[in-house]
Amino acid sequence: MRAVRVLSALGTTLLALGLAAGPVAADSSPSPSASDGSDTSAPTQAGTSFRTATELQQGQQATASGSTGDYLYWSFPADTGQRPTVKATVKLPQTHGAETWQLDVFDGLRRRQSCQYGASSRAAEQGTNSVELACVMRTVRGWAEPWANDPLPGTYYVRLTVVDMGAADLGQPVNAEIQVDSKDIGGPSAVDGSLGKPLVPGIAVKSEAQGDDSKTAVLSSFGSRDGWSSGWWSDRWVWTGIGAVLAALAGIGGYALTRGHGRPPTV
């Protein structure tokens, strides 16, 4: 019975340490968020191409005005262990025909990323006031094979446009709202290996610190203040270690309970 009490106390202690280690492991992997950027208000316009995409931090709700037929582009950062969710709402004019709007997400290499679930393409019937789109991406991985299309840490682009409409609706004014949030998945999706550099491509804009005569393209300003978290560490190492210790204690406890007490009587 004493061995059982000792094992129970050790198991309770290790479980408490594991629960406390979860937030610590999460804090050791900084990820970009709305607070990592600037204190300025959310964007009120969208770009018209990949190179002019408007930067959007996670948690911000951006708005933009455009015309039916325009391509609206935004870009946002996503780090290892995050599962981004992109939501967009298009407010349509009072009179319009049947239209189909589509939301596409591309990574830093401009590869289209598939959605786990969500209506990334939706039709708006005649007279509909608005249409809502959503795309829940796959979890961003720290490393992948060169031939794979897995999402990697870096910049992601959002493209919103109409893909099917009548000729009479071309050029009508529309308003769009977009927001990007993410859920930290952590250890369950962690992989061994790390990405050398995040997929943050250069953009053809001038830095505020540079003069007007500079023509050097600068990197996007995305990323957390402490850097990108791609690396070998994840919270799954904590739970793996706790599981190994518990297995060893269970083996010791089983041996202590099943072994004989004292020497057998001699005949």
83 assigned to some structural domain: yes
Number of folded domains that form the chain: 1
If we measure between CA atoms, which residue out of 32, 51, 55 comes closest to residue 42?
55
Altogether, the residues listed in the chain come to a count of 267
Amino acid, res. 217: A
d(CA 67, CA 35): 32
Helices and strands (H, E) in the chain, number of each type: 2, 13
d(CA 152, CA 147): 13
66 assigned to some structural domain: yes
Using the 8-state DSSP alphabet, how is residue 85 labeled? E
173 assigned to some structural domain: yes
d(CA 214, CA 223): 24
Residue 201, helix vs strand vs coil: coil
Residue 130 bridge partners (DSSP)? 91
CB distance 224 to 31 below 8 Å: yes
Structural domain that includes position 109 = 37-185
CATH code, domain with 101: 2.60.120.380
pLDDT computed for residue 253 by the predictor: 84
172 assigned to some structural domain: yes
Q: What is the DSSP string of 20-63?
A: HHHHHHHHTS----GGGS-SSPPP---BSSSTTPEE--TT-EEE
d(CA 25, CA 30): 10
Cα angle 144-178-67, degrees, rounded to a multiple of 5: 115
If we measure between CA atoms, which residue out of 144, 158, 141, 155 comes closest to residue 82?
141
246 assigned to some structural domain: no
pLDDT computed for residue 229 by the predictor: 60
If we measure between CA atoms, which residue out of 152, 176, 159, 178 comes closest to residue 58?
178
Which residue intervals of the chain are DSSP H helices?
A: 2-27, 236-258
pLDDT along the chain (267 residues), means of 10: 49 50 41 41 90 91 93 92 93 91 93 91 90 94 82 92 90 94 74 68 47 42 51 63 86 81 62
121 assigned to some structural domain: yes
Virtual torsion, Cα 189, 191, 197, 202, nearest 10 deg: -30
pLDDT computed for residue 203 by the predictor: 44
208 assigned to some structural domain: no
126 assigned to some structural domain: yes
